[in-house]
Structure 1
Amino acid sequence: MPTSDVEGKDWSLERFKRHQPKTVCDVGPGEGTYAKLFRPAHHGVWWTCIEVFKPYIRRYGLKNTAKRKDMYDEVHNLDAREAPDHLFHRDLVIFGDVLEHMARGDAIDLLRKAEAAGAWNILVSLPIVPSEQGEVDGNPHEAHLHQWDPDDMDSVLAELGGRVEAMRGSTLGCWWWSRRP
């Protein structure tokens, strides 16, 4: 769904405030959960999003227009797996409830791509309990294709090097990977 459970959001916001990124790429923002939560906490941040499902861009007001400033300064309608590397060269790349929507190998490749492109921090949030889901509102990208085990995500992020902090809730797990040890 284009929404996210509230679990882990306070934990994520604390890390956002601590790291104070100046540039953010939100992958698969849906309704813009993280922009709504983080933007008021730290001004002067350049927000980019990569949204695969074009109808969400208009439905959730992700794109700026001449008449209003919305959540994102820069909006890209494409599959993040095919996005140019420079979009991941940010202080923070957010994968908020998005990696479960692709095969495990694709998700790992995407995390590696973000790290290799120069992401300083990566935030991951995903279900850690069984959460079957198919197409939602005509969006085939909403289907859950992989059920992540929290220990598996710990291992995947540890392989990137750097520092990993994790929060395991009752339904969601959140990880903050940082290039800085």
Structure 2
Amino acid sequence: MPRSHPEGRDWAVDRIAATTTPVVVDIGCGEGTYSDLARGWRADAHWIGVEIHAPYVDRFELTRKYDEVVIADARTYSFPREPFTLLAGDVIEHLTRPDALAFLARARAAAAEIMVSVPIIDYPQHGHDGNEHEAHLDQWTFDEMADQLPGCDTWRGDVVGRYWWTASPTSDRTDPR
């Protein structure tokens, strides 16, 4: 489905509203849920929607919801050079474990802040409506994802875990864009 589970969305929106980065990247934006919910709180930011499935752009009017829409795979998307907040709402489970680990490492090295949302229960999903990328390729436990975002703030629901990671001001971030 091109939408995320609603559990904990208010928690995520509160954190998005508190960000100060000039750019917000919503990777795997689907129907544009996070833009719908939080863009009003961060209207000053440049919002980039990244979506792998091109038909969603017209279907969900993504060009109306984002300042910029990029058709790209999360695994190869080139992050912005400006400081940015990365929203990865229900994206990681659509990647194999090695691809997810590589993506998260690359994201931690580039982003100022990262929000991740993943199902933390057995939540199988297959391709949907002509989009094979909707299939869930891996399952994460709450603690497994928290371990990938050291020191993150967490929220745990019955279905979804949400994680907010902030780069350390003294971290030696590389530029893997």
TM-score (norm 2): 0.90
Residue of structure 1 aligned with 2:101, choices 98, 108, 125: 108
2:119 and 2:81 map into 1 onto residues whose CA distance is 23
Return the letter of the residue paired with 2:116: V
Shift of 1:22: 2.4
1:90 and 1:148 map into 2 onto residues whose CA distance is 28
Once the two structures are superposed, residues 99-126 of structure 1 have per-residue CA deviations (whole angstroms, 9 ceiling, x without a partner) of 000111111111111222x210000001
Residue of structure 2 aligned with 1:81, choices 63, 75, 83: 75
Superposed structure 1 runs of 4+ greater than 4 Å apart: none
1:62 and 1:90 map into 2 onto residues whose CA distance is 23
1:12 and 1:45 map into 2 onto residues whose CA distance is 17
1:21 and 1:120 map into 2 onto residues whose CA distance is 8
Residues 32 and 62 in structure 1, CA contact (< 8 A), matched pair in contact too: yes
2:61 is paired with a residue of what secondary structure? coil
2:103 and 2:16 map into 1 onto residues whose CA distance is 21
Gaps of 5+ in 1: 64-69
Shift of 1:50: 1.3
Residues 89 and 114 in structure 1, CA contact (< 8 A), matched pair in contact too: no
2:136 and 2:155 map into 1 onto residues whose CA distance is 21
Residues 101 and 146 in structure 1, CA contact (< 8 A), matched pair in contact too: yes
1:121 aligned to 2:113?
Answer: yes
Q: How many residues were matched structurally?
A: 169
1:112 and 1:180 map into 2 onto residues whose CA distance is 14
Q: Paired residue for 1:173?
A: 161
Identity percentage over the alignment? 40
Shift of 1:89: 5.0
CA spacing shift, 1:133–1:89, aligned 2, 3 Å: farther
Q: Paired residue for 1:136?
A: 128
Return the letter of the residue paired with 1:92: T
CA spacing shift, 1:115–1:89, aligned 2, 3 Å: farther
1:19 aligned to 2:19?
Answer: yes
Shift of 1:81: 0.7
1:156 aligned to 2:148?
Answer: yes
Q: Paired residue for 1:56?
A: 56
Shift of 1:13: 1.1
2:84 and 2:98 map into 1 onto residues whose CA distance is 24
Residues 25 and 88 in structure 1, CA contact (< 8 A), matched pair in contact too: no
Q: Paired residue for 1:67?
A: none
Gaps of 5+ in 2: 170-177
Shift of 1:28: 0.3
Which stretch of structure 1 is more off in the superposition, 5-14 or 170-179? 5-14
